[in-house]
Amino acid sequence: MEPVEPSIGWGVLHLLFRVDRARAEQEPGGAKRVLDAIASLEADGHQALTFAVLGHKAELGMMALGPDLARLQGFQHELSAAPLVLADSFLSITELSEYTSTEDDERARLVVDEGLVGDAAEARLTEWRERMEHYREQRLHPKLPRKRILCFYPMSKRRDPNANWYALPFEERKRLMGGHARVGRSYAGRVLQLITGSVGLDDWEWGVTLLADDPVALKNIVYEMRFDEVSARYAEFGPFVTGLLLEPAETLRRVGLPG
């Protein structure tokens, strides 16, 4: 099939499965089918993370991402050859926030907050441009590290009559999101956050993937953000799924899918 590539960003597909144990006993080699599908996907320039889900919502989780939605669909189809039952899924695309600071914003901040103009301001702006280029690349084309815990949840912004996010002026939304982002940045090094857009693609408007080594850091960042006005007044959250992020073969062993 011809590639289906977003003009900006990569496709992201979260898949949650249960193991069909009766079928697994009748059809040996299920784990190999999954491992072969992952190897093939990654050979085509995509990435797949596997996690053993904690709780009743699923047993096996996969997060696949890369430039071609057709290839992601092919990966999903290849997994159907294994003894797995798809329990849930979520499709989104990596994106840049429309509320990200612009160069004019940063120039004004340097003047107001630090009193910098002329060459001194330009030197700082050069550093800022380099940081922003790295930030944009990580948001649009992420190379996700293999942390120990993955948490995923979908969310949308409220459209209630007394709390309608989409009725707010852009500058007010940008101000609110700036405060929200400061909370997130305080967890740098402890929690990696990937927010992907699903407006028009799935039932919720965004998907949030959090990666960490310490599950307490996941609990704390979500708890702290609940007190921020963006979440407290304007956010609706879907179900949370958390799992142990492992190498694919170890993930399959832990969920009981035999080779």
Residues in Cβ contact with 115 at an 8 Å cutoff, skipping those fewer than 6 apart: none
Three-class SS state of 172? helix
Burial class of residue 222 in the structure, from the number of CB atoms within 10 Å of its CB (0-12 exposed, 13-18 middle, 19+ buried): middle
Contact (CB, 8 A) for 5 and 68 = yes
Q: Buried (b) or exposed (e) across 1-10, using 16+ Cβ within 10 A?
A: eeeeeeeebb
Task: Tell me which amino acid residue 244 is.
Answer: L
Contact (CB, 8 A) for 250 and 14 = no
Q: Which two tokens stand for residue 129?
A: 């441009």
What are 84's strand-pairing partners? 19
For 236, phi then psi, to 5°, come to: -120, 135
Pick from 36, 28, 88, 37: nearest CA to 58: 88
Catalytic residues: 153
Contact (CB, 8 A) for 134 and 142 = no
Distance of CA 245 to the CA centre of its chain: 14
